[in-house]
C-alpha cells in the first residue's frame, strides 16, 4: 500500500507543475497614445500619462515582471509575466518611456514593445529615427514592426514589402533584431500567418483575452492582446491583468 501511495505522490509531483504552466495566463496589453486627450481621434485610444504611471506602479507593487518578446521563454521562469505593447509609434510614446525611466530601480525594470509603422517614422506626430535608437539603446524599449504602411494584410497583394521592408528598415535604425509583428487592425488569415512566418517569430492580434498555452498550430502567430483604454479605471486594470 505504501508503495502505491509513493508512486501516486511521485506522479502528482511530475504532473502538477506542467499542468499549472499550461494553464498560466499571461496578459499582453495594447496601448496607443500616452497623452492627454485633446479632442482629436478616438478618445479610447488614449491613456493619460498620470493613469499610465498608476498602472505601471500597480504592476510594480504587485510583483509583475514586464517582458519584451526576446524574453518570451522567460514566461515560465519569472513571477507574474506581462507584456506592455504600444501600436503605431506615436511621438507621445516618449511619455511612457519617461515613466519607465522614472520607475526603474534595481528591483523593477519596466520594459515595453513599440510596434512602429516603418514608412511613418519621422512624421510630425510619430517617433523619429533618433527617438527609436535612443529608446532601444536604453534597454527599456524594444522596437518591432506594425508593417510599412498599416494596410489590412488580408486584402493586399504586395505583402512582402509590408513585412520584409519594414523589418529591414527598423533593424537598420535600431541595430537590434526585429522578430515580432502586430497585424494592423488585428486582421489576419492563413495566408497572412504563412507569410509572417517567413520573417517573424511572433504575430500579434487584437483577440481580447489573456495568453495561455493551448498547443494549437501557429500559436505564437495568434497571440491575443487586451486594450487598455482612456476609460479603463485602475480597478478595471487590476481585473484585466489578474485574469
| Tens-place pLDDT, residues 143-185 | 999 999 999 999 999 999 999 999 999 999 999 999 999 999 9
| CATH number given to 25-242 | 3.20.20.370
Which of 37-41, 58-62, 204-208 has the lowest average pLDDT?
A: 37-41
| Tens-place pLDDT, residues 73-123 | 999 999 999 999 999 999 999 999 999 999 999 999 999 999 999 999 999
The pLDDT-based confidence of 24 (bands split at 50, 70, 90) is confident
Q: Write the CB contacts of 184 (distance below 8 Å, at least 6 apart in sequence).
A: 146, 147, 150, 151, 152, 153
Average pLDDT over residues 238-243: 90
Average pLDDT over residues 14-29: 65
User: What SS3 state is found at 209?
Assistant: coil
Q: How far apart are the first and last CA of the chain?
A: 41
Q: 122, 89 in Cβ contact below 8 A?
A: no
C-alpha 122, offset from chain centre: 22
State which H helix or E strand residue 65 sits in. strand 65-67
> Is the predicted pLDDT of residue 13 greater than 80, yes or no?
no
Q: Kindly report the average pLDDT of the chain as a whole number.
A: 92
Backbone angles phi, psi at 224, to 5 degrees: -80, 155
Stated pTM of the model: 0.90
Q: How far is CA 7 from CA 1, 12, 16, 105, in A?
A: 10, 9, 14, 46
C-alpha 176, offset from chain centre: 17
Average pLDDT over residues 41-49: 96
Amino acid at each position: 500500500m505504501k508503495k502505491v501511495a509513493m508512486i501516486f505522490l511521485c506522479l502528482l509531483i511530475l504532473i502538477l507543475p506542467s499542468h499549472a504552466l499550461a494553464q498560466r495566463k499571461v496578459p499582453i496589453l495594447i496601448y496607443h497614445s500616452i497623452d492627454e486627450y485633446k479632442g482629436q481621434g478616438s478618445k479610447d485610444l488614449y491613456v493619460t500619462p498620470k493613469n499610465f504611471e498608476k498602472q505601471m506602479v500597480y504592476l510594480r507593487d504587485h510583483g509583475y515582471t514586464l517582458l519584451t518578446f526576446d524574453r518570451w521563454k522567460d514566461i515560465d521562469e519569472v513571477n507574474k509575466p506581462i507584456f506592455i505593447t504600444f501600436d503605431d509609434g506615436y511621438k507621445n510614446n516618449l511619455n511612457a518611456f519617461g515613466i519607465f525611466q522614472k520607475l526603474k530601480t534595481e528591483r523593477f525594470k519596466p520594459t515595453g514593445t513599440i510596434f512602429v509603422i516603418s514608412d511613418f517614422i519621422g512624421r510630425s506626430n510619430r517617433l523619429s529615427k533618433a527617438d527609436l535608437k535612443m529608446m532601444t539603446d536604453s534597454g527599456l524599449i524594444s522596437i518591432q514592426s506594425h508593417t510599412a504602411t498599416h494596410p489590412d494584410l488580408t486584402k493586399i497583394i504586395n505583402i512582402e514589402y509590408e513585412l520584409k521592408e519594414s523589418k529591414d528598415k527598423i533593424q537598420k535604425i535600431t541595430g537590434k533584431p526585429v522578430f515580432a509583428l502586430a497585424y494592423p487592425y488585428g486582421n489576419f488569415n492563413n495566408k497572412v500567418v504563412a507569410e509572417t512566418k517567413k520573417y517573424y517569430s511572433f504575430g500579434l492580434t487584437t483577440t481580447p483575452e489573456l495568453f495561455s498555452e493551448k498547443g494549437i498550430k501557429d500559436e505564437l502567430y495568434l497571440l491575443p492582446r487586451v486594450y487598455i483604454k482612456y476609460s479603463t479605471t485602475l480597478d478595471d486594470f487590476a481585473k484585466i491583468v489578474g485574469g
